Amino acid sequence: MTTRKQKALWVYANPSNPSFNQQIFEAGVVALGDGYDVETSDLYAMDFDARLSSRDLGTVGEQAEPGSSFVELTGDAFAAGQLPEEVQREQAKLAEADLLVLQFPLWWYGAPAMVKGWFDRVLTNGFAFGDDIDGDAGVPRRYGDGKFVGRRALIVVTAGEDAASIGPRGISGDIDSLLFPITHGTFWYLGMSSLPLHVITDADGLGAEDVEHEINRLVERLKDIDSESPVPFRKLNEGQYRPGRALNPEILPGRTDLGIHLHA
């Protein structure tokens, strides 16, 4: 019996080529290829259009009633096969991926707009999430449940700031909190487990030896990526977010930081 080789999708968003990020991207894809069949999406090289607009709805949008929910219409367009071809290609790659690697430079303490646009256009209703309800828990299939359960995701991020600045007490905010909207609000929302961030600091000032060190550090990590434990986010369907979707007050009372959403 032939064992299916795992598949990965590496989504890369950086406009400069050649660059340190490009070196990381190329070396990472090669290293990951030892254990995975790797597809890539180099968003700038593809000239991927990050703008979500009426063209994403096809003829479904032309027939929609005024005031219709755009989110619902994207689901209808997905079901009807009306999404643009570039979006369908990205969805096909992601649907096959056991591992998603998302690489980008930290700009204004978040991901480049190109990444957000990829989320907006590719992670549509119907494809990435839907109206499914967990019958036992009585909650939507979100946050640890849903269409991407069993998949994993890794962010590779380069930052011009030093480790202290984006550390736990850094003036810029700690990097885990800065990227929480992606690791928790996007990946975990869809049911995809997020691996600990791979952060490269001082990226703008690295010398040749430092560049080689950072490339090797990522390559070595990718060798053992399958053995890594994901970030232990709490699941919506575990009963800890009732009533409503706020964490039960008896759990970590008095705390309001984002860390409350992780199991101890």
Would you write out the chain's pLDDT as a tens digit for each of its 264 residues?
557 789 999 999 999 878 899 999 999 999 999 999 999 999 999 999 999 999 999 888 788 888 889 999 999 999 999 999 999 999 999 999 999 999 999 999 999 999 999 999 999 999 999 888 877 777 888 999 999 999 999 999 999 989 999 999 999 999 999 999 999 999 999 999 999 999 999 888 888 898 899 999 999 999 999 999 999 999 999 999 987 789 999 999 999 999 999 998
E strands in 73-211: 99-105, 133-134, 139-140, 152-158, 193-194, 198-200
Is 10:38 a contact under the CB 8 Å cutoff? Answer: yes
Q: How many Å apart are CA 150 and CA 107, to the nearest integer?
A: 30
What pLDDT score does 232 carry? 97
Q: Residue 252 falls within a domain, yes or no?
A: no
Q: Is residue 238 in a domain?
A: no
Q: Is residue 188 part of a domain?
A: yes
Q: Assess if residue 88 is contained within a domain.
A: yes
Residue 174 lies inside a defined structural domain of this protein? yes
CATH number for 40: 3.40.50.360
pTM greater than 0.95 (yes/no): no
Element (H, E) at 10: strand 6-12
Q: Look up the domain containing 217 and give its range.
A: 6-231
Residue 154 domain flag: yes
The pLDDT, as a whole number, for residue 1 is: 54
Does residue 260 lie within any of the structural domains? no
If DSSP codes are grouped into helix, strand and coil, which group holds residue 42? strand
Whether 264 is in a domain gets the answer no
Please choose, from the candidates 72, 62, 5, 14, the residue with its C-alpha nearest in 3D space to the C-alpha of residue 40: 14
Question: Number of structural domains, the chain?
Answer: 1
Q: What is the pLDDT of residue 66?
A: 86
Which are the contacts of 210, defined by CB distance < 8 A and separation ≥ 6?
A: 202
